[in-house]
Chains A and B, each alone.
Chain A
């Protein structure tokens, strides 16, 4: 009797807690979606709500009036795709070399990489190097190069490669294959889950990139999507500078609140879209990383 009561209590608490926590997680998404579909005047009168007030698509019409958002999309897609591919090539090449037991200096090089996780020169020296000495300001490469190899991803991948039996590489070597061939034709096909994981880590990192832009990008054509959001959010003045606001002034009410929301919705879209895929591999990768340490 006592047990069944306890069972019920635990079940009720579990279901209730997860239901409430899920609502807590999902409400902000609904809020921005509904707000973006509301009429600006109604919003200014009574505030944002979970159900659109005076359904209106003005906020979307306004942001699609000029190509600011498309340009940011284009820039972000370019450096995300190119950056992810480059990162994965360099990271996997390094990880593979460091996983080969016969490679003499692998431990020294591993420490050389590891040390950067413990100590760094800090923001300012990197900033000076990149902007003053390498001259990468206002260059799309500045999104990619400073984060080319993430030590954590590199070690994650190296640990995964270590699990692959040596005999595979050895027999290929006897047949005359070199290490580059072995990496691309034998190791990588076997490491698909791990590669997918770090690819998503890198890809998401690029997609959510804004900090680089605050430091190094002035050219409006090179804004990343997240940086654009930041600008729209932070600087009301910036919104008036955008061409799309010029057209909107005709309606007398500048839809600045709802336009913020529609910008957010337009940028969050792709993440929601690829989310099931993301979740599958991230969860796997996180567990792999945790178990292997």
Chain B
């Protein structure tokens, strides 16, 4: 770490002087440096070293030749990606799905929080709250089992119910797994199932933090319950909502690989609506074994993602200078 830190501010002229003060600082705060060392080492190895590996995006990477001896091809990998029609599809899917997740999640989280805060029965409140948070703790792989149990063509619950109710006949089952147009909706429902309850916790905390005197004053002035909700609670939640939204927008360029790969997997029927940048990169790596190409797409994602974070942060700062992300 000693080396890493002094290299960071490597400035040939003042290096000697700095090194001396740095060393004396290490001596003085020896135990603090010792404590921070394993963490710093982790970030150097697992976060910063891979950044060097970005150069494979500009190479025709060959495992035999390795990272430093593979042939450089300039922007060819990027060119290839941007001239295929895939890049538009996966970029669009990533942003579109994330926006839908963000706003439907927001809506249901706030609704749950509002509704819970209107419920007087402590027992009912506690039980239902526990139930709606539970799905957050289930892994997406298990969710994919649930999805199978519900949507399978042969044995799925939904098809079975539709058949029992007489809506469809034997042989007319809905084939969910080969119908891409249904999956935007399915993914949104799953996201709400898993995240809305947990997401409501933050809004519940915000509602609990609202000054009770405001409500009391409003009641004396004859405000109804509905008016209290729309005129006091919702406006008071505005800051939280705006900031969490901006936070979400900051991550809009990163698809939920854990979710989408676990549920959709390598099902080519559904790529049209569910393939996001992350799953595309992952598949490129696993099926095509095209390391340079996947690295190039990954870099495209990281760079655009970074720009979007800065934009989101700019607006967050403008809105509320204390709440900017950085």
Instruction: Write the residues of chain A forming the contact surface with B, with a CB cutoff of 8 angstroms.
Output: 2-3, 6-7, 10-11, 13-15, 17-19, 21-22, 24-26, 28, 31-32, 35, 43-44, 46-50, 90-91, 93-94, 96-98, 100, 102-105, 108-109, 112-114, 116, 118-129, 132, 145-146, 148-149, 154, 178-180, 183, 204, 207-208, 210-211, 214, 226-227, 229-230, 233-234, 257, 260-261, 263-264, 267-268, 271-272, 275-276, 278-279, 282-283, 286-287, 290-291, 293
Contacts and interface: CB of A to CB of B under 8 A. Distances in A.
A39 B132 CA distance: 30
Interface in B112-136: 112, 115-116, 118-120, 124-125, 127-128, 130-136
Contacts, number: 279
Nearest to B326: A114
B137 A204 contact: yes
Given A229-B142, A275-B137, A290 B43 contact: no
A125 B295 contact: yes
A179 B115 contact: no
Given A121-B53, A122-B281, A179-B32, A286 B150 contact: no
B156 interface: yes
A230 B141 contact: yes
Contacts of A44: 154-155
B63 A145 contact: no
Contacts of B258: 211
A14 B5 contact: no
Interface in B311-326: 323, 326
Given A19-B128, A125-B56, A118 B306 contact: yes
Given A233-B148, A291-B205, 4 more contacts: A112-B40, A113-B39, A179-B34, A278-B137
- Interface secondary structure of B, over-half rule: helix
Contacts of A14: 115-116, 118-119
B146 A127 contact: no
B140 to A, nearest CB: 8
Given A47-B155, A148-B42, A116 B47 contact: yes
Contact of B225 (A10, A49, A271): A10
Interface of B: 5, 8, 25, 29, 31-36, 38-40, 42-43, 45-54, 56-57, 63, 67, 111-112, 115-116, 118-120, 124-125, 127-128, 130-142, 144-146, 148-150, 152, 154-157, 159-160, 163, 193, 196-198, 201-202, 205, 224-226, 229, 257-258, 261-262, 265, 278, 281-282, 285-286, 291, 294-295, 298-299, 301-302, 305-306, 309, 323, 326
The 8 closest A-B pairs by CB, nearest first: A125-B53, A122-B298, A47-B160, A94-B39, A121-B50, A208-B139, A125-B50, A179-B31
Nearest to A46: B160
